[in-house]
Structure 1
Amino acid sequence: MKKLRVMMVVHYTLVPPDDLSNKDDPRMEKYRTEYDVKTALLNLGHEVQVVGVYDDLAPIRKMNEEWKPHIVFNLLEDFAGNSAFDYYVVSYFEMMRIPYTGCNPRGLLLARDKALTKMILTYHRISVPDFDVFRLGRKISRRRKFTYPLIVKSLTEEGSVGIAQASYVENETQLRERVALIHEKLHGDAIAEQYIDGRELYVTVLGNAKLEVLPIRELEFGGTEPGTPRMATYKVKWDDKYRERWKIEYQFARNLPNGMAERIGHLCKRVYHLLDMNGYGRIDLRVTADGELYVLEANPNPGIARDEDCSLSAIKSGLSYEDFIQRILHLGTTARSIE
């Protein structure tokens, strides 16, 4: 295995401290993805330089000119505080002709916009929840007839930002209130989509042209009372004590009907290709009681800390965590979205 000079690009507040090494260090929670990836790269024998970025690309250019890295390991999720701008940074990598890990600019643009994703998939006859978009700065008016209940969330934010139990709305008054809150708190567009009752599955896909589907993860709502909405809210995703209290658990999918895993794998590969994703990504789905599959979202460059779903799926498939990081690195060195 060739040893590489790897420029790891992260948010400027997430450059892991040099003295961070103890898993019980209270700082570890903040830096865990950056720490895990950097440690894995060093364990693999690569040289690593971490560059923190906020609203200026000069540090990337400077590092590229002075150190001449073989590849960028891209862990940046926003630029200037806007998550929709991440593809501009990747476009800069393209213009500078620096190889990089993860998704290309076109895939980021298509997949980050939840409405655009749904329109593309609908055109290709892939089932998605019915939806409508409410633009920031415009009158909150419903343009389409809905079958309630709906889920209201940000059009572009990830990580369940802005999603709470109150995101589940059952009438127009609740819809207007929740859309207004998204506009006010997140300063961006909102999307309202049909609530699909069913099992929530997360499927990691690795690859550029040739794709590999890793073992399927599931969000199991063990303590939810019958008839209440089951959603991946912000507290569900990020609050360990909340999940423990309500017996909500991330686990590997069990007892899928015969042939369902194959159907899901085929569907996720189609979605990945249709949205022009590459590197690695995660497709979020719901499967209803009668076996219908609905694509909720496509997530390019999802979280890859050691204990996150993508990494756990990779480990379940037989890779070590270091193998997984090396695979992502290799995919970055062999893919270009612009020839």
Structure 2
Amino acid sequence: MKVLVLHSDVPPDAPPEDQDTLIAASAIAEALVSRGHTAPLAAYVNDREALRKLVTPHRPDVVFNLVEGIEGEGRLAYLAPQMLAEIGVPFTGAGARSLVITGDKPRTKTMLRDAGLPTPAWAEPPHWNGLGAGRWIVKCADEDASVGLDDGAVVEAPEVEARAAASAARFGGRWFAEEFIDGREFNIAMVEQNGEPHVLPMAEMMFVGWPVERPRIVGYNAKWDDASFESVKTVRRFGVEYREPALARELRFLCEECWHLFSCRGTARVDFRVDGDGRALILEINPNPGIAPDAGLIAAANEAGLSYADLVEGIVKEAVR
């Protein structure tokens, strides 16, 4: 097949979460070429006619969509699948609707609640309705990659408003507060097979040697600074399906419900916290999780016996199935 690998237009001084897109694009192209496909790379342009002129000469069977942000804003990523659909080119991954909804975390949580799916309580400005006593984690409502997530993001209720205001001033965007669940964390990936979600081996994030006074979170440093304490001491572990089959069944059910509720395609990841009573609570849904060779999705695929090329080629074939 002819596969155009379309990635974000990433400037040289972009932060590591944006540079990761270029790493993924090169790896995907290499994997596809190794399987006999052609896979040129191109940077996304945010204009429909310009995008048509960019794509048309390649005459692709499918576009591998790696546009994770536009002009540095992840909340605008939905424009890429929207424009690709408008010019009539098949593409991998989530559609515009899915990205718009899951790109707004409070809206996602509202949909989860309305569907009867478990998610921690949350509160939004300006009135912060529902903000009760206890610890809360202040998050960006419309950006991913754990922007602004560090130890200081976990605060007591009276400190929420000040933390949200400081984060908005520093990083921009909208900020909200979610009840902090001091429990186990699972990041569970899915891939599409024959039009249906297939849950990959479930990854639990283990906080090894973590000081008791520090909140256990997978923050920005854990994801993007390989030399940091947070990255070194956050270790992925598989095998919950065998150790705790009842919990695994619940996690699998919730993953599949999320896939259908948010109209996922190709791949997706659902992040959970499991509280002290064993309740699984859905934190976030990422319909286009990272796919660089060191990403959690790839670790789960490898655990399932899928090579990088297997996974990439499977995503492409599902997109044109």
Could you state the TM-score of these two structures normalised by the residue count of structure 2? 0.91
2:183 is equivalent to residue 183 of structure 1:
no
In terms of mean alpha carbon deviation, does 240-249 or 299-308 score higher? 240-249
Taking the TM superposition and a 5 Å limit, the aligned residue runs for 1:19-34 are 31-34=22-25
- Partner residue of 2:151? 165
Tell me the residue number matched to 2:261: 274
What is aligned with 2:84? Answer: 93
Instruction: For 2:93, give the aligned amino acid.
Output: G
Contact in 1 for aligned 2:102/2:285 (Cα 8 Å): yes
Quickly say closer, same or farther: Cα 1:51–1:244, change in 2 above 3 A: same
Partners of 2:156 and 2:230 in 1: CA distance: 27
C-alpha spacing 1:85/1:218, structure 2 compared with 1 (3 Å): same
Tell me which residue corresponds to 2:15: none
The equivalent residue for 1:192 is 177
1:55-86, CA deviations, whole angstroms, 9 ceiling, x for partnerless residues?
44555311322221111000111123321111
Give the SS at the match of 2:293.
coil
User: C-alpha offsets along residues 133-189 of structure 1, whole Å, 9 cap, x if unaligned?
Assistant: 23xxxxx443223232000010011111111111001132x2122111221122211
Q: How has the CA–CA distance of structure 1 residues 63 and 54 changed in structure 2, closer, same or farther, with 3 Å as cutoff?
A: closer
Indicate if the aligned counterparts of 1:133 and 1:189 stay in contact, CA closer than 8 A.
Answer: no
Aligned residue type for 1:235: N
Superimposed CA distance per residue, residues 111-140 of structure 1 (whole angstroms, 9 cap, x where no aligned partner): 111111111111122110100123xxxxx4
8 Å CA contact 1:200–1:219 kept in 2: the answer is yes
Structure 2 match to 1:12: 9
Give the equivalent residue in structure 1 for 2:38.
47
Cα separation, partners in 2 of 1:179 and 1:39, compared to 1, 3 Å: same
Name the structure 1 match of 2:287: 300
Consecutive unaligned residues of structure 1, counting only runs of 5 or more, are 16-27, 135-139, 335-339
Q: What is the rounded CA distance, in whole Å, between the counterparts of 1:144 and 1:306 in structure 2? A: 40
Aligned to 1:137: none
Aligned partners of 2:9 and 2:45 also within 8 Å: yes
Q: Is the 8 A contact 2:123 2:131 kept in 1?
A: no
2: CA distance, partners of 1:29 / 1:110? 23
Identity %: 29
> Does residue 150 of structure 1 match 2:136?
yes
Aligned-residue RMSD, C-alpha? 2.1
Aligned equivalent of 1:131 = 122
Task: For residue 230 of structure 1, report the CA deviation from its aligned partner.
Answer: 0.5
1:226 deviates by 3.1
SS of 1:47's equivalent? coil
- C-alpha change, 1:293 and 1:185, in structure 2 (3 Å) is same
Unaligned ranges ≥5, structure 2: 13-18
Q: Displacement of 1:54 after TM fit?
A: 5.1
Q: Residue type of the partner of 2:58?
A: W
Aligned partner letter, 1:162: G
Give the conservation status (yes or no) of the 8 Å contact 1:111–1:298. Answer: yes
Amino acid at match of 1:12: D
Q: Which residue of 2 aligns with 1:21?
A: none
Helix, strand or coil for the counterpart of 2:40?
A: strand
Query: Is contact 2:153-2:163 (8 Å) kept?
Result: yes
User: Is 1:309 aligned with 2:306?
Assistant: no
The answer to whether the aligner puts 1:233 opposite 2:223 as a matched pair is no
Q: Is the 8 A contact 1:224 1:246 kept in 2?
A: no
Choose from 222, 231, 234 the match for 2:208.
222
Q: State whether residues 285 and 295 of structure 1, in contact with CA within 8 Å, keep that contact through their aligned partners in structure 2.
A: yes
Match of 1:250 in 2: 236
| Equivalent AA in structure 2 for residue 190 of structure 1 | W
Structure 2: distance between partners of 1:51 and 1:31: 10
Q: Is the 8 A contact 2:133 2:156 kept in 1?
A: no
| Maintained 8 Å contact 1:108/1:277 | no
Task: Measure the CA separation in 1 of the matches of 2:239 and 2:228.
Answer: 21
